[in-house]
């Protein structure tokens, strides 16, 4: 069944049917109803290839999927994709992925762009001075990045959360509670969000004349196991930190296991604030000691990014070029006043 057949069936012209289907105003509501009804009955679906040829829009957004273990083993990315997908389905858009060797992302991105299969590009996992940025700018194709790239001119469209403020605020809370010895359980050190979170923490500390020793910073992929390992190292330090900032609830999961195994009490001996991406299977309120968190939904970010990207392609913007979402600092029980200095923690 194609447009021609359908229009003949209805005794209308292709033009009218097409317009009825695409919501143009110059068609009688009664006619439109009749068309819609016929579509339902016949199961007519417009041919995508023809639509694409006629409009010049593929109805798709491209992304390169790095196949390094670090990346795809990342629960966070899946959650984000879910959001993207939800919104895309709503608009009948689809995703084209290009699996790529992690040290040829730029090439993969270019191939994807010139392949002619996509209308817009999306990139994530931004790093400092990210080499993909100049490449994206040189392309004449809309794109949107999730996150930012520290060290690059911020003249590109992005959606990011205010990582620096998040960790700055979290640190301030802990400082107010009297903590002075901090540690940071961060994501991979080359990623932009990790850099900014660290900066946020450092600047809150320096306002109080404190600093963050390098051995109190752990950079790793965000799995609970690595969180546990890092926390174990922190706990073995002679001057064990009492305030922990954690880049993910997944890392926190492991870290807390380490705390428990050391016989320490979360929220008493150790205060911990984690960034919460709102992963559906890992709710901070369900931890045995509910977690104080900085919250921002990764899935919502995915939805919003899809929205903007699709909007750009359909030209029904204008969308703000750059969005910086604030996070919410939600206090639960994993934070408490710093233990009195004479209390012994180290020797467990």
Partner DNA sequence: TGCGTTTGTCAAAGCGCTTTGGAACAGGGT
Partner DNA sequence: ACCCTGTTCCAAAGCGCTTTGACAAACGCA
Binding residues (CB under 8 A) for a second copy: these are 45, 47-50, 52-53, 56, 58-60, 65, 67-69, 71-75, 77-79, 81-82, 84-86, 89, 92, 94-101, 111, 114-117, 223-225, 279, 281
Distances in Å between the Cα of 225 and the Cα atoms of 85, 221, 246, 256 are 29, 10, 14, 11
Q: How far is the CB of 67 from a second copy (least distance, A)?
A: 4
Residue 28 vs 47, nearer CB to a second copy? 47
The Cα 224–Cα 248 span in angstroms is 9
Q: Which is nearer to a second copy, 65 or 329 (CB)?
A: 65
From the list DNA, a second copy, none, which binds 223 (C-beta under 5 to 8 Å, kind-based)? a second copy
Smallest distance, DNA to C-beta of residue 10, A: 8
CB under 5 to 8 A by kind: which of a second copy, DNA, none does 116 bind? Answer: a second copy
Minimum Å gap between C-beta 46 and DNA is: 4
What does the binding site for DNA look like in residue numbers (CB under 7 A)? 2-4, 11-16, 18-19, 21-22, 26-28, 31, 44-47, 50-51, 53-55
Minimal distance, residue 164 CB to a second copy, in Å: 28
Nearer to DNA, 44 or 287 (CB): 44
Residue closer to DNA by CB (options 43, 263) is 43
- Residue 47 has, within 13 A of its CA and on its CB side, a CA count of 10
Q: Could you identify the residue written with the tokens 């690059």?
A: 152
> Which of DNA, a second copy, none does 281 bind, CB closer than 5 to 8 A by kind?
a second copy
Burial 106-138 (b: 16+ CB within 10 A, else e): bebbbebbeeeebbbbbbbbbbbebebbebbee
Q: Which of 318, 280, 331, 286 is nearest to 302 (CA)?
A: 280
Return all residues near 37 (Cβ < 8 A) that are at least 6 apart: none
CB of residue 133 vs a second copy: minimum separation in angstroms? 23
Which among a second copy, DNA, none contacts residue 101 (Cβ within 5 to 8 A by kind)? a second copy
**Residue number with CB closer to DNA (34 or 71):** 34
What are the φ and ψ backbone dihedral angles of 119, each rounded to 5 degrees?
A: -95, -25
Torsion 266-268-272-273 (CA) sign: positive
The entry of DNA, a second copy, none near residue 16 (CB within 5 to 8 angstroms by kind) is: DNA
> Could you tell which of a second copy, DNA, none binds residue 111, using a CB distance below 5 to 8 A set by kind?
a second copy
**Could you tell me if 102 and 68 are in contact, meaning their C-beta atoms sit under 8 angstroms apart?**
yes
- In angstroms, the Cα distances linking 127 to 188, 195, 250, 251 are 10, 9, 21, 20
Whichever of 68 and 139 has its CB closer to a second copy, that residue is 68
Q: Are 292 and 270 in contact (CB under 8 A)?
A: no
Give the CA distances from residue 305 to residues 87, 157, 297, 308, in Å, rounded to whole numbers and listed in that order: 9, 10, 12, 5
Least distance from DNA to the Cβ atom of residue 313, Å: 13
CB-nearer residue toward a second copy: 47 or 343: 47
Find, among 173, 163, 162, the residue nearest to 205 by Cα: 173
The contacts of residue 115 (CB under 8 Å, 6+ apart) are 96
Q: Minimum Å distance from CB 31 to DNA?
A: 4
Question: CB of residue 273 vs a second copy: minimum separation in angstroms?
Answer: 23
Residue closer to DNA (CB basis): 26 or 316: 26
């Amino acid at each position: 069944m194609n447009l021609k057949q359908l229009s003949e069936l209805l005794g209308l012209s292709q033009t009218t049917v097409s317009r009825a289907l695409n919501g143009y105003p110059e068609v009688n509501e009664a006619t439109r109803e009749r068309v819609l009804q016929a579509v339902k009955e016949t199961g007519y679906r417009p041919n995508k290839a023809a639509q694409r040829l006629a409009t010049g829009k593929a109805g798709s957004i491209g992304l390169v999927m790095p196949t390094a273990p670090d990346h795809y083993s990342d629960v966070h990315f899946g959650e984000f994709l879910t959001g993207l997908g939800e919104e895309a389905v709503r608009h009948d858009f689809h995703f084209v992925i290009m699996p790529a060797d992690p040290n040829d992302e730029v090439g993969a991105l270019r191939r994807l762009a010139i392949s002619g299969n996509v209308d817009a590009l999306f990139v994530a996992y931004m790093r400092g001075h990210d080499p993909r940025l100049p490449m994206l700018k040189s392309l004449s194709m809309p794109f949107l990045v999730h996150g930012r790239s520290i060290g690059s001119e911020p003249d590109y469209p992005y959606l990011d959360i205010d990582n620096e403020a998040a960790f700055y605020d979290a640190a301030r809370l802990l400082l107010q509670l009297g903590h002075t010895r901090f540690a940071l359980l961060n994501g991979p050190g080359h990623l932009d969000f990790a850099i900014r979170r660290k900066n946020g923490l450092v600047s809150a500390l320096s306002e109080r004349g404190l600093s963050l020793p390098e051995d109190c910073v752990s950079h790793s992929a965000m799995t609970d196991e690595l969180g546990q390992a890092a926390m174990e190292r922190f706990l073995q330090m002679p001057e064990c930190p009492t305030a922990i900032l954690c880049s993910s609830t997944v890392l926190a999961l492991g870290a807390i296991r380490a705390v428990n195994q050391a016989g320490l009490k979360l929220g008493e001996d150790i205060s911990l604030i984690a960034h919460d991406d709102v992963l559906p299977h890992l709710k901070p309120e369900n931890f045995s000691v509910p977690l104080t968190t900085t919250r921002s939904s990764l899935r919502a970010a995915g939805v919003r990014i899809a929205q903007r990207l699709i909007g750009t392609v359909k030209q029904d913007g204008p969308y703000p070029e750059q969005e910086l979402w604030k996070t919410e600092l939600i206090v639960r029980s994993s934070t408490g006043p710093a233990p009195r200095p004479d209390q012994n923690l180290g020797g467990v």
